[in-house]
Amino acid sequence: MEQAQMLALVERHLKAEGAGDVEGAIAVYGADIEHDVVGFPTGALHGVEAVRGFYEELTANFRTEEEVPTHRYFTDDAMVLDQEMTGTVTGTFLGLPGNGRRITFRVLHIFEFGAGLITRENVWLDVASIQHQLV
């Protein structure tokens, strides 16, 4: 897959996620998506329906305000995105009450692609930074 195609899918996904558009966020995923947010109690999720629940929960509790890419790396079928994210925790995040606090933290995404869609997303969060800002 071309780099521009990968980037377009990822940007479409992130824009929808940030807007609270769950259906738009998962529309770029293949039916057998593997979605793994390291450290989340659910572990890796498999399939669009399981991932839909994750995004319903996320968008109900966190409102993305800004995503600033710091690095992007590409292979033939994968993209690594290192970014800084800022948003407001309207509910709970990582089990901690947000109380409407605005937080900024690093996120590392690894996206894999196949058949013109995202087939795997692996996410690493700077949990220590999040906890520090919410406690």
Structural domain count, the chain: 1
pLDDT greater at residue 25 or residue 39: 25
Q: Please write the tens of the pLDDT for every residue from 17-33.
A: 999 999 999 999 999 99
Q: How confident is the model at residue 40 (pLDDT cuts 50, 70, 90)?
A: confident
CATH of the domain at 23: 3.10.450.50
Residue 95 lies in domain: 3-134
Q: Please write the tens of the pLDDT for every residue from 57-81.
A: 999 999 999 999 999 999 999 999 9
| Average pLDDT score over residue span 9-17 | 97
Q: What is the DSSP secondary-structure string of the chain?
A: --HHHHHHHHHHHHHHHHTT-HHHHHTTEEEEEEEEETT-TT-SEESHHHHHHHHHHHHHHEEEEEEEEEEEEE-SSEEEEEEEEEEEESSEETTEE-TTEEEEEEEEEEEEEETTEEEEEEEEE-HHHHHHHH-
pLDDT of residue 42: 86
pLDDT of residue 88: 98
